[in-house]
Structure 1
Amino acid sequence: MKVVVTGGAGFIGSHVVQTLEGVSDVTEVVVVDDLSTGRAENLLGTTAEMVQGSVLDDSVLDKVLPGAASVVHLAAVPSVPRSIDDPLRSHHANATGTLTVLEAARRHRIPQVVLASSSSVYGANTALPKREAMRPMPLSPYAVSKLATESYALAYRACFGLPVLPVRFFNVFGPRQPLNGVYSAVVPAFVAAALEGRPLRIFGDGRQTRDFTYVGTVAQVLVAAVTRRVSVPDVINLAFGTRTSLLELITELEEVLGRKVEVTHDQARPGDVRDSQADGSTLRSLFPDIQPVPLRAGIEATVTWRMGQDTLAAREAAASLAV
């Protein structure tokens, strides 16, 4: 079985590639990534073929898709704040990029496309937990682009019979999640600040809640979807119904580190959702054998990885000075 992973050199994509390579039925994994947010180093230790290019480029997709049994479409420009700063880039990469992938999949008669959407599509809808049938009320260009992603997927299923599985991610975290300055996700930002002895910066009062999902669990679900050829008539949440405030997240991090950390508060950011929690009943019915990695274990793994990265960077710096 050949599987193509767009955005496969990114944070989530590289974990999906690694998990795919542990499946005996998967004989070939091809990654398409323009490396705008992904890193080729994330694929070290894998045998995946890396094709550098954009999902907006038909010639790239026509090169890699023939013979594929499935496409896992993860290529995107992430981050709500980044989309507010540059809405057009977010739209082109996320909405138009998805349409280009779906059209290529139709052209090459790909049997399945798994696509990443986001819990941000719920936006101003304050009801909890978030059920898939709720009205989307996006608050940012990023959320709109992800709503377009899943809408295009379902339209291609309805119009062309293309088997699709659009999944809504909820605050995925774990090793290899990048630090992108003001665009960084909360977990890597908190872990990096804590390890460097800097204050942890909270936008708002810290009581806002999230359904944190460990990246290894996400990869397990996506790979199971590929190997079982899961396709559904609607979008599904990919989270398990936990609800953790940022203050509680900091407490967990402090317990992992064995010390207190300093915290500062800034004004809440536009486009940020106050509370998020998935209804995971559809997910559990489709993948009953997958158990999520607990938050504490995920934070421990993330801290261990970040410390290893810091040690590696220090060694490389020392070596460059010695030359």
Structure 2
Amino acid sequence: MKVLVTGGAGFIGANLCRRLAGLAEVERITVLDDLSTGDARNLADLPVELAEGSILDSGLLARLVTGATTVIHLAARPSVPRSLADPLASHAVNATGTLHVLEACRATRPHVILASSSSVYGDSPAPYKHEDLPTRPLSPYGATKLATEAYALAYAASFALPVLPFRFFNVYGPLQPAGHAYAAVIPAFVSAALRGLPVPIHGDGAQARDFTYVGSVTEVLADAAVRRVTSGTPVNLAFGARISLLSLKDALAEVLGRPVEAEFLHARAGDIRESQASARLLLGLFPAVRPVPLADGLRATVEWFRRSAEPVGAGHRETVPPGRPVDSSQPCRSMSTGEVGD
């Protein structure tokens, strides 16, 4: 199996490449990344071929797709606030970029796995976000991700392209950057707490998320690639956890063994109050997968931050040092086993 991972030098992509590199079925891994948010050092100890470039480069995409049996499309311009600041840039990468990827795949029809987002649901009052709910994005980012999955399913119907669109829910774990304006919740919390600062909470902290450890996400993505799993509908990639930001603060305090204070800030435009997945479709396709408990995932994330090459919060490219690999599939389990997080 020859795999092309777009966005493979980023947070989820580099963790995925590490998992793919350990599979006997995978013969070659190629990464396409423009390194705007990813970092080549995330791949330094892995047997991958890195092509630095954009998914908007049709010629480069066509060359890289040729010979690939599976394309895992993770490249994106992440973050709801970033999309509010520059909607056109988010659309160009997330919607038009996805169309370029699908068009490059149309001739040879590799298996295509794509990343959409829970943000497509908007603020639906349903307690669990299931895939049959109407989609009502509240941000340009959510709209671009809805376009991602819509184009994928249209190419499946029109050109017999085998596709599997996943809706990610607040993925977190090692290699996820902090220290910049668009940092996801958990790295922002961990970065602040390790420096002895209050964690930033936008709003009252009662808003809840379905935080999903990156090791669980890459387990599903790798299994989907090996078994060539497809779906005629998008599939939630989360397990139905409901964790408020205040509960997350307390869980981080338990991991650190000391109190963590909060700084309450104004609520942000485009933020969703409740985001909890129905995992019915996911577990039907991947019955063996089990979520990593929050305490274990937080512990692995904290450990990575502590051994990161750059000072915590110093810049937006915190990476695992070359020669100090992180195994996100095996979080530390010494205690209780009970953002692209959006």
TM-score normalised per structure 2: 0.90
User: Is the CA contact 2:123–2:274 (under 8 Å) kept in the aligned structure 1?
Assistant: no
Once the two structures are TM-superposed, the CA of residue 110 in structure 1 deviates from its matched residue by: 2.8
RMSD: 1.0
Match of 1:291 in 2: 290
Distance (Å, rounded) in 1 between the aligned partners of 2:301 and 2:99: 34
Once the two structures are TM-superposed, the CA of residue 111 in structure 1 deviates from its matched residue by: 2.6
Aligned counterparts, 1:184-223, within 5 A: 184-223=183-222
Matched, 1:89 2:67: no
Match of 1:53 in 2: 53
Letter of the 1:82 partner, please give it. R
Match of 1:41 in 2: 41
Once the two structures are TM-superposed, the CA of residue 313 in structure 1 deviates from its matched residue by: 4.2
Match of 1:317 in 2: none
Distance (Å, rounded) in 2 between the aligned partners of 1:45 and 1:128: 42
User: Is the CA contact 1:4–1:70 (under 8 Å) kept in the aligned structure 2?
Assistant: yes
Distance (Å, rounded) in 1 between the aligned partners of 2:105 and 2:187: 34
Deviates more, 1:153-162 or 1:175-184: 175-184
Higher relative contact order (CA 8 A, sep 6+): 2
Aligned counterparts, 1:1-323, within 5 A: 1-107=1-107, 109-309=108-308, 313=311
Equivalent position SS for 1:166: strand
Distance (Å, rounded) in 2 between the aligned partners of 1:273 and 1:60: 37
Equivalent position SS for 1:182: coil
Any idea what the Cα deviations from partners look like across 1:171-194, whole Å, max 9, x if unmatched? 000000011522110000000000
Once the two structures are TM-superposed, the CA of residue 301 in structure 1 deviates from its matched residue by: 0.2
Match of 1:319 in 2: none
Letter of the 2:90 partner, please give it. S
User: Is the CA contact 2:173–2:297 (under 8 Å) kept in the aligned structure 1?
Assistant: yes
Once the two structures are TM-superposed, the CA of residue 44 in structure 1 deviates from its matched residue by: 1.7
Equivalent position SS for 1:113: strand
Equivalent position SS for 1:183: coil
Any idea what the Cα deviations from partners look like across 1:140-198, whole Å, max 9, x if unmatched? 00000000000000000111111100000000000000115221100000000000111
Q: % of aligned pairs identical?
A: 56
Distance (Å, rounded) in 2 between the aligned partners of 1:282 and 1:261: 37
Give the count of matched residue pairs: 312
Distance (Å, rounded) in 2 between the aligned partners of 1:313 and 1:48: 27
Distance (Å, rounded) in 2 between the aligned partners of 1:180 and 1:30: 29
Once the two structures are TM-superposed, the CA of residue 213 in structure 1 deviates from its matched residue by: 0.3
User: Is the CA contact 2:179–2:191 (under 8 Å) kept in the aligned structure 1?
Assistant: no
Deviates more, 1:46-55 or 1:58-67: 58-67
Distance (Å, rounded) in 2 between the aligned partners of 1:199 and 1:85: 26
User: Is the CA contact 1:70–1:110 (under 8 Å) kept in the aligned structure 2?
Assistant: no
Once the two structures are TM-superposed, the CA of residue 272 in structure 1 deviates from its matched residue by: 0.4
Distance (Å, rounded) in 2 between the aligned partners of 1:313 and 1:204: 28
Structure number having the greater helix percentage: 1
| Structure 2 residue runs without a partner (length 5+) | 313-342
Distance (Å, rounded) in 1 between the aligned partners of 2:232 and 2:72: 17
Equivalent position SS for 1:255: helix
Distance (Å, rounded) in 2 between the aligned partners of 1:37 and 1:292: 27
Any idea what the Cα deviations from partners look like across 1:42-66, whole Å, max 9, x if unmatched? 1121010000000010111122111
Letter of the 1:133 partner, please give it. D
Distance (Å, rounded) in 1 between the aligned partners of 2:299 and 2:198: 19
Any idea what the Cα deviations from partners look like across 1:186-243, whole Å, max 9, x if unmatched? 0000000000111111000000000000001100100100000000111000000110
User: Is the CA contact 1:68–1:110 (under 8 Å) kept in the aligned structure 2?
Assistant: no
Distance (Å, rounded) in 2 between the aligned partners of 1:121 and 1:131: 11
Distance (Å, rounded) in 1 between the aligned partners of 2:195 and 2:103: 46
Moved over 2 A (4+): none
